[in-house]
Amino acid sequence: MNLEELKKLKDKAQRQVALREGNKKYRVVFSMGTSGIAAGAREIMTTMLDEIDKRGIDDVEVAVTGEIGLVDAEPMIRIEEASGEKVTYAKVNAADARKIVTEHLEKGKIVEGLAVGKVKE
């Protein structure tokens, strides 16, 4: 393990600290159970965080959750809006993750081809 690489952890954590705070317009929940992890959920989350950081989007909170039981649909992301609307995206790859950031989190448009569930509370 390269120590220089590890030192980048502190910078990155510093940049992402605001994403851990609540009361934002969007809450992005990553399914991070064993099946999600095996399907690449960690990389999807990293990709999204990098894209959010790159675009300077600040009205977003990120969260992780455990196994939700839909193994075949992993990696899964749920986006919860302050208004109560919830959208679930399934089988997300890196390109999808970037698209969800630019379309949903930046423009407020649901990425229809990727969304598998939508709930309005």
Partner 1 sequence: MLEELSLHILDIGMNSLAAGARKLEVAVIENTKRDWLIIRLRDDGQGMDAETLQDVLDHRASSKKGRKKNIGLGLAFLQQTSEMCGGTFHVASRPGQGTTVTASMRLSHIDRPPLGNINSTILTLSARADVDVQLHYRSDDQTFHFSSQEGKPHEPRRTQEAQR
3-state secondary structure of 24: coil
* Nearer Cβ to partner 1 (65/118): 65
Q: Does 121 bind partner 1 (CB under 8 A)?
A: no
DSSP 113: T
Tell me the per-residue interface mask from 50 to 89 with partner 1, x by CB under 8 A, - otherwise: ------------xxx-xx----------------------
Q: What residues between 32 and 51 interact with partner 1 by CB under 8 A?
A: 32-34, 37-38, 42-43, 45-46, 49
Q: How far, in Å, are 7, 14, 31, 75, 88 from residue 92 at the CA level?
A: 29, 26, 11, 6, 10
